[in-house]
Structure 1
Amino acid sequence: MRAALIMLATLAVAVLLDIGTRRLVRRVDHGRYRWVLGPLRKACRRPTAAVLLFTGLYLALPPRPTGWLGDVRHVIGLLLIGSVAWLVIKALYVAEGVTFSRLPPEVVADRRIRRARTQIRPVRRFTAVVVTIVAIGLIVTTFPPIRAFGISVLGSAGVVGALIGLSARTALGNAFAGIQVAFSDGLHVGDVVVIEGEWGRVEEVKLTNVVVRLWDDRMLILPTMYFTERPFQNWSRHEARVVGKVQIHVDHTADLEDLRTETRRLVESSPLWDRSQWVLQMVDATASSVVIEVQAAAADGPSAWDLRCDLREGLIRYIRDNHPQWLPRTRSEYKP
Structure 2
Amino acid sequence: MDSDSVLRPFTAIAGALVITVIAGWLLDLLLLRADARHGETPLWGLLRRCRLSFQVFLCALLLRGSYRQARILPEHSTAVGRTLVLVLIASAAWLLVRIATAVVDSAYARFADRTADEARVRRVRTQITLIHRVVTAVVVVVSVAAMLLTFPEMRAVGASMLASAGLIGIVAGIAAQSTLGNLFAGLQIAFGDTVRIGDTVVVDGEWGTVEEITLTFLVVRTWDERRITMPVSYFTSKPYENWSRGGAQMTGTVYWHLDHSAPLELMREQLQRILDEVPAWDGRTAGLAVTDTTPHTIQVRAVVTAKDGSDIWTVRCAVRERLLAWLVAHHPYALPRIATSPAAPPPAGPGRDPVAGL
Normalising by the residue count of structure 2, what TM-score does the alignment of the two structures yield? Answer: 0.51
Shift of residue 245, structure 1, vs aligned partner: 1.7
Q: 2:56 and 2:207 mapped to 1: Cα distance?
A: 47
Separation (CA, whole Å) in 1 of partners of 2:214 and 2:161: 37
* 2:319 aligns with one of 299, 303, 311: 311
Q: Secondary structure at the match of 1:292?
A: strand
Query: Cα distance, 1:290 vs. partner?
Result: 4.6
Q: How many residues align?
A: 268
Q: Distance in 1 between matches of 2:220 and 2:199?
A: 9
Does 2:202 align with 1:194?
yes
Question: Which amino acid is the alignment partner of residue 53 of structure 2?
Answer: V
Q: Is the 8 A contact 1:242 1:301 kept in 2?
A: yes
What is the letter of the counterpart of residue 321 of structure 2? Answer: E
Give the Cα separation in 2 of the matches to 1:19 and 1:159: 51
Q: Does residue 248 in structure 1 map to residue 256 in structure 2? A: yes
Counterparts of 1:107-146 in structure 2, within 5 Å, are 127=144, 131=148
Is the contact made by 2:274 and 2:322 (CA closer than 8 Å) also made in structure 1? yes
Structure 2: distance between partners of 1:132 and 1:159: 22
Q: In the TM superposition, what is the alpha-carbon distance from 1:243 to its structure 2 partner? A: 0.8
Question: Once the two structures are superposed, what CA deviation does each residue of 1:77-112 show, in whole Å capped at 9, x if it has no partner?
Answer: xx96x7776556555765798899999xxxxxxxxx
In structure 1, C-alpha distance between the alignment counterparts of 2:151 and 2:176, rounded to whole Å: 22
Q: What's the offset of the Cα at 1:237? A: 2.7
Paired residue secondary structure (2:247): coil
Tell me the alpha carbon deviations over residues 113-166 of structure 1, each in whole angstroms, 9 at most, x when there is no partner: xxx9xx99xx79x959x9399765668x8xxxxxxxx99899999999887766
CA distance in 2, matches of 1:171, 1:295: 44
The one-letter code of the counterpart of 1:232 is: Y
Residue pair 1:203, 1:212 contacting (<8 A) in 2 also: yes
CA contact (8 A) 1:47 1:86 kept: no
Aligned partners of 1:28 and 1:34 also within 8 Å: no
The answer to whether 1:276 aligns with 2:284 is yes
Q: Which runs of 5+ in 2 are unaligned?
A: 1-8, 29-49, 102-132, 342-358
CA contact (8 A) 1:85 1:135 kept: no
Q: Note if contact 2:17-2:59 (Cα within 8 Å) is conserved in structure 1.
A: no
CA distance in structure 2 between the partners assigned to 1:255 and 1:27 by the alignment:
81
Which whole-Å CA distance do the structure 2 matches of 1:28 and 1:294 have between them?
Answer: 68
- Whole-angstrom CA distance in 2 between matches of 1:131 and 1:217: 43
How much does 1:321 deviate? 2.0
Shift of 1:316: 1.8
- Of all paired residues, the percent bearing the same amino acid is 32
Give distance in 1, aligned partners of 2:226 and 2:83: 45
Structure 2 distance, partners of 1:243, 1:312, is 15
- The 5-angstrom pairing of residues 255-294 of structure 1 reads 255-283=263-291, 290-294=298-302
Separation (CA, whole Å) in 1 of partners of 2:175 and 2:166: 14
Which of 289, 298, 303 is residue 306 of structure 2 equivalent to? 298
SS in 2 for 1:308: helix
Q: Alignment partner for residue 245 of structure 2, among 222, 227, 237?
A: 237
Q: Corresponding residue for 1:69? A: none
- Secondary structure of 2:24's counterpart equals coil
- Relative distance call for 1:328 and 1:43 in structure 2 (3 A) is farther
Task: Name the residue aligned to 2:24.
Answer: 29
**What is the CA–CA distance in structure 1 between the aligned matches of 2:189 and 2:97, rounded to whole Å?**
31
TM-score (norm 1): 0.53
8 Å CA contact 1:133, 1:157 repeated in 2? no
- Deviation at 1:214? 4.0
Which amino acid counterpart does residue 238 of structure 1 have in structure 2?
Answer: G
Q: Indicate the residue corresponding to 2:353 in structure 1.
A: none
Q: CA deviation at 1:311?
A: 0.2
- Aligned CA distance change for structure 1 residues 264 and 48 (closer, same or farther; 3 Å): same
Tell me, what secondary structure is at the counterpart of 1:28?
Answer: helix
Q: Which runs of 5+ in 1 are unaligned?
A: 1-13, 58-75, 104-115, 142-149
**Within 2, Cα distance between the matches of 1:320 and 1:97?**
66
Q: Which amino acid aligns with 2:148?
A: V
Distance 1:52 1:330 in 2: 101
**Alpha-carbon distance, 1:175 to partner:** 3.7
CA distance in 2, matches of 1:165, 1:255: 67
The residue aligned with 1:228 is 236
Q: Is the 8 A contact 1:85 1:132 kept in 2?
A: no
The CA distance in 2 between the partners of 1:28 and 1:171, in whole Å, is: 44
- Give the Cα separation in 1 of the matches to 2:203 and 2:243: 11
Please give the root-mean-square deviation of Cα atoms over the aligned residues, in Å.
5.5
CA distance in 2, matches of 1:187, 1:153: 40
Task: Kindly name which structure, 1 or 2, has the bigger radius of gyration based on alpha carbons.
Answer: 1
- Whether the 8 Å contact between 2:210 and 2:219 is mirrored in structure 1 is yes
Contact 1:200 1:214 in 2 (8 A): yes
